[in-house]
Amino acid sequence: MPLRIERLLKTFGTTRAVDEVSFEVDEPKMIGIIGRSGAGKSTLLRMINRLTDASGGSIHYEGRDILRLRGAAMRGWQSDCAMIFQQFNLVPRLDVVSNVLHGLLNKRSTMTTMFSLWPKADINRALEILERLGIAENAAKRAEALSGGQQQRVAIARALMQDPKIVLADEPIASLDPMNADIVMKALRRIHEEDGRMVICNLHTLDTARRFCDRVIGMRAGQIVFDGAPEELTTETAREIYGADADFDEAATSTSIDALGRHEKHSARAIA
């Protein structure tokens, strides 16, 4: 089993931010994790990447106990398990290609990174990844000169520079307009399909999860309350995830209340 998470727990005082979560992924898929703010989605991804320590439970990947890794072994795991953030986490005054090359910080010498003495092969690979994501023409620009959507694609390129086995994306489109959000999600989907990489993506919108993901996990109050195919994500199930009184402003920003009503009337079709 490539990824197995068992009874994963994270507490902050008496609060269980992630409450004994368990799930398995037996092959590379694109997985969307949905839920209200505070449901535990970001904490879950940060524990998988080892940015946050777990309070209990286990994470195994290809037979390794990820929570027991320390030092170089943990840094190696963080290279294999790349993280993409909502706020991009780029170095604004550095050019785009240098930001992408920073994906190799754990794999190159301190001298190389301090003085930007990158091998030509690394630079060429960074340019190829930028070309793949449609932003190679911006390689020499400062990151701060790019739009939000372009900066997020630079962040994706930096993650791909690590050649990861898993890509974790924490609300990657939350700060983007609809057009750029669509571009970013299509890029993540291509990474899954063309590279065969596992992609786990925290999302707010139901429509996005249904459109791009093979599997959807719904979290509420730190627990998994739904785990299934997108077509199984009915309006009734969505209300269980977001709360019976949810007005779906947060849950489905691109789905109108009228559309949700139509789905309820045609529940046999679920939410396709």
| pLDDT mean by block of 10 residues, the chain; 272 residues | 93 96 96 95 97 97 95 94 94 96 79 70 96 97 96 97 96 94 97 97 91 96 96 88 65 37 36 30
Number of residues written out for the chain: 272
The 3 state secondary structure assigned to 165-225 is CEEEEECCCCCCCHHHHHHHHHHHHHHHHHHCCEEEEEECCHHHHHHHCCEEEEEECCEEE
- Give the separation between CA 264 and CA 272, rounded to whole angstroms: 12
Residue reference for tokens 């294999």: 80
* Measured CA angle at 161 (ends 172, 79), to 5 deg: 80
Instruction: Give the β-pairing of 3-12 and 56-61.
Output: antiparallel
Confidence (pLDDT) at 234: 86
Question: pTM to 2 decimals?
Answer: 0.86
Contact residues for 260 (Cβ-Cβ < 8 A; gap 6+): 235, 248, 252
Question: What does each C-alpha distance from 255 to 170, 183, 210 come to in angstroms?
Answer: 21, 19, 12
Please list the residues that pair with 30 across neighbouring strands.
199
Residue reference for tokens 């947060």: 250
Is residue 230 within 8 Å of residue 208, measured between CB atoms? no
Confidence (pLDDT) at 109: 58
- Give the separation between CA 191 and CA 197, rounded to whole angstroms: 7
Which residue from 211, 208, 197 is spatially nearest to 252, judged by alpha carbons?
208
Domains of the chain: 3-269 (3.40.50.300)
- Give the separation between CA 74 and CA 81, rounded to whole angstroms: 10
Q: Residue 90: left (phi > 0), alpha (psi -120 to 50), or beta?
A: beta
Is residue 216 within 8 Å of residue 207, measured between CB atoms? no
Between the two ends of the chain, the Cα-to-Cα distance in Å is 29
- Give the separation between CA 133 and CA 157, rounded to whole angstroms: 7
- Give the separation between CA 207 and CA 203, rounded to whole angstroms: 10
- Give the separation between CA 209 and CA 189, rounded to whole angstroms: 11
- Give the separation between CA 188 and CA 185, rounded to whole angstroms: 5
